Amino acid sequence: MIGGMKGSDILRLVDAMHREKGVDKEIIFSGIEAALLSAAKKKLGMEREIVIEIDRGTGNITALDGETPITDLEQLGRIAALTAKQVMIQKIREAERDVVYDEYIRRVGTLITGTVQRYDRPNVIVSLGKAEGIIPWREQAPGETYNPGERIKCLVLEVKKVGQRVRIVLSRAHPDLLRHLFELEVPEIAERIIEIKDLARDAGHRSKVAVQSIDHKVDCVGACVGIRGSRIKNIVDELNGEKIDIVRWNESQEVYIMNSMKPAVVNAIELDYETKLAKVFVEEDQLSLAIGRRGQNVRLASRLTGWAIDLVTGTPEAYEERFQVEHDAKKERPPVKEDAAAAAAAVLPDGPSEEGEALAKEGAEGAADDEAEEAEAAEATEGDASDDTSEPDAAS
């Protein structure tokens, strides 16, 4: 008997805690036994060989100090009783943590609904019922606001034990959130009549989803859109207005890339399978649609198809004509043949001939005579000028 409690009272207490906390009864019994054992050693000595057991059927307690029965556990003292209480609370909390962990570890990668509890900058705390989840800043969709009391759907990203608590990390930006929303809103996807082949998401702005119909009688795009857009509207509303493009998947890479570039109209596509590069030709007025706002359309199409996309205006023929001149200019000139080089070398003399040296000598002498004549003419001109200036002085 503990504090006037009979065995039946202990059984009722264990049963109530089991229903309220969801903790297994065996764990509660083990916690009570560990608490009483700690209190008994605190009072009687840590070196004592004390054994305490609780009968699972009747709730009666058996306490032995070696082979000597401990008749009255109420005489253990106040400090020992407080120690027993702390040990029992700790055991119960550990059991609660394990229950929460086992429940949510199985839900990693699935969709869960919670209520926004508070905004703890920069994180958002979401109430999940038995536990609390956290949406870190990096897992929040840009542009979204979270108001207390608002119900939201999140993806369970990670579950781990941190001390006496369980940390549940949620996400609103992960691409799989969009996948699970489609499975929730489109029964054909959940029933595997329609398959989501690829998915690319720019959280908070735009997403592209490639779908394929396994049953050829079912239109995969029409089923995802719904009557008057009812199904896709529910998904867009849940994501706070994020734009979603539904792309029809095709085995042909050319057709698949062409579908992924919508709403832009593509003229032609050239694929380089070695470098995984797709050259996409569009008209000038379709270039802005092909690129999209801040490059979203071409970037998401590239991530969706797995091809690097290079946008080119015009047609392949116009592209070839545009660069034909540059291509011709870069062509290598034909090398000079050895026979032609030898013939040219034979025609040219190895050094200056005697006639050439004589002509050079005569030219040099003629140039010297010309310079002498020019000097004499200059001196004669200066003499005439001096005579003209002296005659007026004599007359005066």
- Which of helix, strand or coil describes residue 165? strand
Of the pLDDT bands very low, low, confident and very high (cuts 50, 70, 90), residue 393 is very low
- Above 60 in pLDDT, residue 331? no
Interval 279-330: pLDDT, tens: 999 998 999 999 998 899 999 999 999 999 999 887 766 666 555 545 555 5
Going by DSSP bridges, is the β-strand pair 165-171/308-313 parallel, antiparallel, or unpaired? Answer: unpaired
Of the pLDDT bands very low, low, confident and very high (cuts 50, 70, 90), residue 396 is very low
- Above 90 in pLDDT, residue 186? yes
pLDDT of residue 127: 94
Of the pLDDT bands very low, low, confident and very high (cuts 50, 70, 90), residue 78 is low
Of the pLDDT bands very low, low, confident and very high (cuts 50, 70, 90), residue 188 is very high
Burial code of 317-334, b = ≥16 C-beta within 10 A, e = fewer? Answer: eebeeeeeeeeeeeeeee
Query: Tell me, which fold does domain 111-171 have in CATH?
Result: OB fold (Dihydrolipoamide Acetyltransferase, E2P) (2.40.50)
Q: 40-54, 117-131, 203-217, 337-351: which range is least confident on average?
A: 337-351
- Torsional class of 192: left (φ above 0), alpha (ψ -120 to 50), beta (otherwise): left
- Above 70 in pLDDT, residue 335? no
Q: Helix-strand-coil percent breakdown of the chain, rounded to 5?
A: 50, 25, 25
Which carries the bigger pLDDT value, residue 45 or residue 60?
Answer: 60
CB 180 within 8 Å of CB 279? no
Interval 340-350: pLDDT, tens: 556 545 544 55
Sheet holding 277-282, edge to edge: 266-272, 277-282, 308-313
236, with CB counted inside 10 A (0-12, 13-18, 19+), is middle
228: Cβ contacts below 8 Å, ≥ 6 apart: none
Which carries the bigger pLDDT value, residue 221 or residue 323?
Answer: 221
- Torsional class of 173: left (φ above 0), alpha (ψ -120 to 50), beta (otherwise): alpha
CB 51 within 8 Å of CB 64? yes
Tell me the CATH architecture of domain 7-105.
2-Layer Sandwich (3.30)
pLDDT of residue 358: 52
Tell me the CATH architecture of domain 252-331.
2-Layer Sandwich (3.30)
Which carries the bigger pLDDT value, residue 90 or residue 268?
Answer: 268
Phi, psi of 284 (to 5 degrees): -60, -40
pLDDT of residue 138: 93
Among residues 126, 105, 99, which one has the least CA distance to residue 114?
Answer: 126
Which carries the bigger pLDDT value, residue 307 or residue 20?
Answer: 307
DSSP code string of 343-391: HHHHHS-SS--HHHHHHHHHHHHHHHHHHHHHHHHHHHHHHHHHHHHHH
List the helix and strand counts (H, then E) for the chain: 14, 14
Interval 274-289: pLDDT, tens: 999 999 999 989 999 9
Q: 100-109, 207-216, 355-364: which range is least confident on average?
A: 355-364
- Above 50 in pLDDT, residue 115? yes
Q: How far apart, in Å, are the Cα atoms of 74 and each of 40, 64, 78, 90?
A: 10, 15, 9, 21
pLDDT of residue 274: 92
Find tokens 């989501």 and name the residue.
196
In whole angstroms, what is the distance from residue 192 CA to residue 189 CA? 5
- Above 90 in pLDDT, residue 152? yes
Do 174-249 and 252-331 share a fold?
yes
Q: How far apart, in Å, are the Cα atoms of 373 and each of 367, 378, 379, 382, 385?
A: 10, 9, 10, 15, 19
Boundaries of every domain in the chain:
7-105, 111-171, 174-249, 252-331
- Above 50 in pLDDT, residue 394? no
Phi, psi of 108 (to 5 degrees): -65, 130
Average pLDDT over the chain, rounded to an integer: 79
In whole angstroms, what is the distance from residue 314 CA to residue 280 CA? 10
Which carries the bigger pLDDT value, residue 352 or residue 27?
Answer: 27
Selection from 30-44, 65-79, 134-148, 373-387 with the highest mean pLDDT = 134-148
In whole angstroms, what is the distance from residue 125 CA to residue 132 CA? 7
Chain centroid offset of residue 78 CA: 58
Structural element, H or E, at residue 158: strand 151-162
247: Cβ contacts below 8 Å, ≥ 6 apart: 208, 209, 210, 211, 256, 259, 260, 262, 304
Cross-strand partners of 135? 124
| CATH (residue range 174-249) | 3.30.300.20
149, with CB counted inside 10 A (0-12, 13-18, 19+), is exposed
